[in-house]
Amino acid sequence: MNRMLDSQVRKLVRTGTLELVDAQGTTRTYGDGTGRKIRLRFTRKSAERNIMLNPGLKFGEEFMDGGFVFDEGSIYDFLELVFSSLKDRFPNKWMEFGARLRFATRRLRQANSQRKARRNVAHHYDLDGRLYSLFLDNDQQYSCAYFEPGETDLEVAQLAKKRHLASKLALKPGQKVLDIGSGWGGLGLYLAERCGVEVTGVTLSEEQYETSNRRAKERGLSDRARFLLQDYRTVDGPFDRIVSVGMFEHVGVGHFREYFDTCRNLLTPDGVMLLHSIGRFDGPGDTNSWIQKYIFPGGYIPAISETVPAIERSGLLITDVEILRLHYAKTLRVWRERFLARREEAKAIYDERFCRMWEYYLAASETSFRYWDLMNFQIQITRDQNVLPLTRNYMIEEEERLRAEDERALGGGAFKMAGE
């Protein structure tokens, strides 16, 4: 086995039980012998070298291409073992140097012009729609669910997420709402139906655009919910409310000021905006090179410390901040389990390599939220600090009102998820 790789693994794995079998068949054991054994076997010597030289990119690639396999355990088990015990994000100088270099050049990879942004979105969101139906909830919510105490059901948690978001918008019937990055339309349709507002959703995904408008038509909401295949930077306002869920991660750090300047210009003087995004606990960083190449080109998970200055410089006011801890880890676990349960269907749509890529993406994402530095934040924003009540009681009251309506509708059979 590559001696440098052996040395690094020995530093990384102090607990648990890991067996590594090199391409020549030699087995080495790491950890303290506790827990379930994980046995990783290299199928070619080049995989050992590639992973040692560029682990951020090559570990995922070698898993996709069969450079190593698991005789016992899974990719999730391995990542959980490493991430849960790793105290130093960069355990050697080579990895630290690579991270610093990527950080210094991150704006180049995140230069999301309108043309490039559409191409990046198509890379991920215009995949065959059958893929997402394998693991998402009925409403096709492809963002962090909101698990209330004791709740484990994904459908219930995604409905709770929509209530939670709606309660912070302080909506009034007839208001005009802009949904930036509207996905498959679930949130916009919920707001139009439950809160009596007029929703305009924008997406750069043709798949999402077609699905959203079809859903609106099927549910008789086309007069109150329309979805456009359009960049948010080209939308005409004004709007009383703006909501953006899971889209800010695609903006890129060099476009933060442009994003909030645009939102300010689109918002009425007494308007309210709610931003929901994945965030970092550990401050500004860069996107993992494997994620950047295969999953979210041009994407970047922001730290609050670099988001707030962009909001302030745009002349907007932050009126509420909430951190959602571990909600996305729970969401991703359900997605991963559902995907693996229907893996053969995914393989029929694409191929084995794609399935390995998707499994790695879901496993790495979940362990990053569960053991490393990722979370979600919700920031409520206004142009005038006087437009909202002084306490958060109105959020609680509205959430309870919506809960009662949801329960009545679900109990009576009249309400169906947007995907049903």
pLDDT in tens, 134-145: 999 999 999 999
Per-residue pLDDT, averaged over 211-220, amounts to: 97
| pLDDT for 420 beyond 50 | no
| pLDDT for 416 beyond 80 | no
In a domain, 420, yes or no: no
Which of the 8 DSSP states describes residue 314? T
Residue range(s) defining the domain that contains residue 93: 3-104
According to the model, what pLDDT value does residue 155 have? 97
According to the model, what pLDDT value does residue 16 have? 93
Distances (CA, A) of 326 to 30, 89, 322, 406: 29, 19, 13, 25
Give the Cα separation of 233 and 314 in Å (integer). 15
Q: Are residues 56 and 121 in the same domain?
A: no
Per-residue pLDDT, averaged over 218-246, amounts to: 96
Whether the CB-CB separation of 270 and 205 falls below 8 Å is answered with no
Q: Are residues 36 and 121 in the same domain?
A: no
In a domain, 55, yes or no: yes
According to the model, what pLDDT value does residue 411 have? 77
Q: Which amino acid is at 368?
A: S
What CATH number is given to the structural domain containing 391?
3.40.50.150
Whether the CB-CB separation of 374 and 283 falls below 8 Å is answered with no
Position of tokens 């401050």? 283
Q: Are residues 204 and 318 in the same domain?
A: yes
Q: Which of 104, 130, 151 is the last residue of a domain?
A: 104
pTM, to two decimals: 0.92
pLDDT band at 418, cuts 50/70/90?
very low
| pLDDT for 162 beyond 50 | yes
Which residues does 149 contact at the CB level (< 8 Å), separation at least 6?
none
What CATH number is given to the structural domain containing 18?
3.30.1050
Q: Are residues 350 and 215 in the same domain?
A: yes
Q: Are residues 294 and 170 in the same domain?
A: yes
Q: Are residues 266 and 207 in the same domain?
A: yes
Share of the chain above pLDDT 90, in %: 77
In a domain, 279, yes or no: yes
Per-residue pLDDT, averaged over 34-40, amounts to: 95
Q: Are residues 287 and 151 in the same domain?
A: yes
According to the model, what pLDDT value does residue 36 have? 92
State how many domains the chain has.
Answer: 2
Give the Cα separation of 335 and 329 in Å (integer). 10
Q: Which of 84-88, 112-116, 168-172, 309-313 has the lowest mean pLDDT?
A: 84-88
According to the model, what pLDDT value does residue 114 have? 82
If you write DSSP's letter for every residue of 106-162 in order, what string do you get?
A: HHHHT---HHHHHHHHHHHHTS-HHHHHTTS-TT---S-----TT---HHHHHHHHH
Distances (CA, A) of 382 to 6, 172, 268, 313, 388: 54, 16, 9, 13, 9
pLDDT tens track for 368-400? 999 988 999 999 999 999 999 999 999 999 999
Whether the CB-CB separation of 215 and 188 falls below 8 Å is answered with no
According to the model, what pLDDT value does residue 398 have? 97
Residue (of 214, 210, 220, 171) closest to 191 by Cα position: 171
| Structure token digits, residue 414 | 């009249």
Which residues does 285 contact at the CB level (< 8 Å), separation at least 6?
99, 103, 301, 303
In a domain, 417, yes or no: no
